[in-house]
Amino acid sequence: MKEIFIVIDSYQYQMESRYQETSSLTNLFSENKFIGWLVLFIVFFSIFAIIIFQFLEWESNNKNNQ
């Protein structure tokens, strides 16, 4: 029974050592840092702008209703 675990452990170790990450997001930040950070910057400020404009719209509606 112990030999089976040794074989399984050895096979798993070989699989882990051959694993290669192929994420395009990881490649974007590691190979082309400028575009990666630019996209992150655009996404962050787009979300920020949406939240601000929505808040201003809610405040405008509250003032008109009073």
Q: Which residues of 32-59 are buried (b: 16+ CB within 10 A; e: fewer)?
A: eeeebeeeeeeeeeeeeeeeeeeeeeee
- Average pLDDT of the segment spanning 2-29: 65
How far, in Å, CA of 34 to CA of 22, rounded?
Answer: 19
What are the sequence ranges of the domains in the chain? 24-66
User: What are the pLDDT digits (tens) for 42-62?
Assistant: 999 999 999 999 999 999 888
pLDDT value at 16 more than 60: no
